[in-house]
Amino acid sequence: MTGKPRLAGLAMCVLMAGALGACGKQQATKPAVDTAKVADAILVDVHQLVEQFNARDAEGAVSHDAPDYVGMFHGMPNVKGPAEDLVVTRQQVADPAVRVVVSDETVDVAASGDMAVYRATYAYTFTDPTSQQPATEHGNWLMGYKVQPDGSWKLAWGVVSDTGPAAVAAPAVAPPTAAGPG
C-alpha cells in the first residue's frame, strides 16, 4: 500500500508545482499607447470638423459623431445621436454669418488609449435673432472622444458653454486726501 499513497503524493506535488508555475506567468499586455500620436489625431479631427462646419457642410461635421453621441449646449435640450445633431447643425450652418474659431486647444489622452478629452475656447459668430446683425459668442468647448471598434476615434459627447459678456471693470476710486488746515 505504500505505492499508492506515494504515487498520489507525487501527483499532488506535480500539480501544485504546475499551479505555482502558472501563477508566475505574466498575462499578455497591450502595447503602450502613443498618447502624443492620439492627441495629434484628435486635433486633426477637430480641425477638420471646424473646417466642415465653417464650409456649411453639416453632414461632414456630423460624420465625426459616434453612434451614441450626446451634445450638451447651453439653453437647449441634449442632442442625442448623429441624426439629432444633424438637425441642429443644419439649422446652424443655414445662417450666412456662422463661423467658429477655436483657440487654446488641449488634448488629454487616457494612458489606456481608449478615451481622449479635447478642450478649447471658441468664438462663435452668428446672426443675432433680435438685431439681425452678426454677433459673437465666446465660450468653452469640451469634447470626449472614444476609440471605435474599427480603431477610429469618434466624438462620444460635446459640451458647449458660453462664458457670457466680458466683465466691466469697476471705476477707479481716488485715494482719500488729507484735509489741510482750513
Looking only at Cα atoms, what is the longest distance across the chain?
Answer: 126
- Supply the pLDDT for residue 135: 94
The residue written with cell numbers 489741510 in the block is 180
Grid coordinates representing 69 are: 453621441
The residue written with cell numbers 468653452 in the block is 140
Which residue type is seen at 31?
Answer: P
For 87-127, the pLDDT digits (tens) are: 999 999 999 999 999 999 999 999 999 999 999 999 999 99
Q: How far apart are CA 44 and CA 113, in angstroms?
A: 17
* pTM of the model as a whole: 0.74
For 120-179, the pLDDT digits (tens) are: 999 999 999 999 999 999 999 999 999 999 999 999 999 999 997 766 666 766 656 555
Q: How far apart are CA 141 and CA 85, in angstroms?
A: 16
Domain 35-162 has CATH 3.10.450.50: yes
The residue written with cell numbers 469618434 in the block is 154
For 7-59, the pLDDT digits (tens) are: 445 444 444 445 445 455 455 566 788 999 999 999 999 999 999 999 999 99
Contact by Cβ (8 Å): 102, 121 = yes
Instruction: Report helix, strand or coil for 174.
Output: coil
**In what side-by-side order are the strands of the sheet with 153-162?**
79-80, 65-73, 153-162, 134-147, 115-127, 99-109
